[in-house]
């Protein structure tokens, strides 16, 4: 019974780490730290969207759990809650009952972080505004870039298909920039570049490269391919909008 409970808890923690943006290397490291705290043998592999975990007791009895993470929500605030809990587990080594209670407490705290959408809105505007200057835009270009990115983010943030969402983002960002250019004189390229940059899968690319470097080749390669397809969708969407606008 203990084996089943610890396997269920560990796979649940791994799923949440993956959901909020942890890399495969981080997931495997954190779960291994917990297993060391409880002196149990755990074999875990986080491969792309699938987490496989096997727990083995002193008598050689084993139990395996497989969890698929079909969607992710990059949220560093929520991810830090889980990371801090794992650090606390390794220090205090609580009972499984206590650990489950800590998990419930985290889930309550997650519900209180519901204002993250509005924080994201502000962050999207500031990021696209700043990126526009990187591409040699002026203040009018930066404002247009921020407005386009903000509007498109609000229109697409509930879409779960990443490739379709990025294709639509590229299409809409270019369209909004083009509409603004009909009203105010702005430079299309820096405004467009700044608006699109916030939709580039930066964390996914970073995790992919880190995992390949850590010899998590299957997971890293799958994430790299996903990032390439997402980038291609962004470019294709913007190119199609450019063709439609003439």
Q: Verify that 240 and 120 share a domain, yes or no.
A: yes
* pLDDT of residue 43 exceeding 70: yes
12-21, 48-57, 124-133, 232-241: which range is least confident on average? 48-57
pLDDT at 65: 93
Q: Verify that 120 and 106 share a domain, yes or no.
A: no
Q: Verify that 136 and 25 share a domain, yes or no.
A: no
Residue 133 structural domain: 116-245
pLDDT at 196: 94
pLDDT at 158: 84
* CB-CB neighbours of 129 under 10 Å: 23
Q: Verify that 128 and 231 share a domain, yes or no.
A: yes
Is 68 in contact with 49 (CB distance < 8 Å)?
A: yes
**pLDDT band (50, 70, 90) for residue 1:** low
**pLDDT band (50, 70, 90) for residue 245:** confident
Q: Verify that 35 and 143 share a domain, yes or no.
A: no
More confident residue, 59 or 144: 144
Q: Verify that 160 and 130 share a domain, yes or no.
A: yes
Share of the chain above pLDDT 90, in %: 59
Is 156 in contact with 172 (CB distance < 8 Å)?
A: yes
Q: Verify that 48 and 120 share a domain, yes or no.
A: no
* pLDDT of residue 206 exceeding 70: yes
Of 111, 127, 145, the residue that ends a domain is 111
- Number of domains comprising the chain: 2
Tokens at 230, concatenated = 């997402």
Q: Verify that 54 and 140 share a domain, yes or no.
A: no
pTM beyond cutoff 0.95:
no
* pLDDT of residue 115 exceeding 60: no
Q: Verify that 241 and 128 share a domain, yes or no.
A: yes
Contacts of 115 (CB under 8 A, 6+ apart): none
Q: Verify that 225 and 140 share a domain, yes or no.
A: yes
Is 27 in contact with 63 (CB distance < 8 Å)?
A: no
Of 111, 135, 160, the residue that ends a domain is 111
Comparing CA positions, the residue from 16, 20, 60, 49 lying closest to residue 34 is: 16
Q: What is the mean pLDDT of residues 173-179?
A: 95
Q: Verify that 213 and 92 share a domain, yes or no.
A: no
Is 16 in contact with 72 (CB distance < 8 Å)?
A: no
Contacts of 82 (CB under 8 A, 6+ apart): 13, 16, 17, 20, 106
* pLDDT of residue 142 exceeding 60: yes
Q: Verify that 237 and 130 share a domain, yes or no.
A: yes
Of 55, 85, 111, the residue that ends a domain is 111
pLDDT at 116: 64
């Amino acid at each position: 019974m203990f084996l089943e409970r610890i396997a269920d808890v560990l796979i649940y923690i791994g799923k949440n780490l993956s959901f909020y943006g942890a890399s495969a290397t981080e997931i495997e490291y954190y779960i291994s730290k917990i297993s060391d705290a409880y002196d149990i043998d755990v074999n875990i592999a986080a491969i792309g969207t699938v987490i496989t975990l096997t727990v083995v007791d002193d008598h050689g009895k084993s139990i395996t759990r497989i969890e698929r993470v079909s969607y992710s929500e990059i949220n560093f605030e929520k991810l830090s809650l889980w990371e801090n809990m794992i650090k606390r587990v390794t220090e205090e080594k609580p009972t499984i009952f206590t650990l489950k209670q800590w998990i419930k407490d985290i889930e309550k705290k997650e519900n209180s972080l519901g204002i993250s959408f509005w924080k994201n809105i502000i962050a999207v505007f500031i990021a696209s505004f700043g990126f526009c200057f990187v591409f040699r835009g002026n203040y009018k270009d930066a404002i247009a870039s921020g407005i386009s990115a903000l509007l498109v983010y609000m229109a697409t943030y509930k879409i779960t298909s990443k490739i379709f969402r990025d294709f639509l983002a590229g299409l809409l960002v270019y369209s909004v920039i083009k509409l603004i250019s009909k009203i105010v004189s702005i430079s299309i390229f820096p405004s467009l570049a700044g608006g699109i940059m916030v939709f580039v899968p930066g964390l996914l690319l970073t995790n992919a490269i880190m995992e390949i470097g850590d010899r998590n080749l299957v997971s890293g390669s799958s994430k790299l391919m996903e990032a390439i397809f997402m980038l291609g969708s962004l470019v294709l969407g913007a190119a199609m909008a450019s063709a439609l606008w003439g």
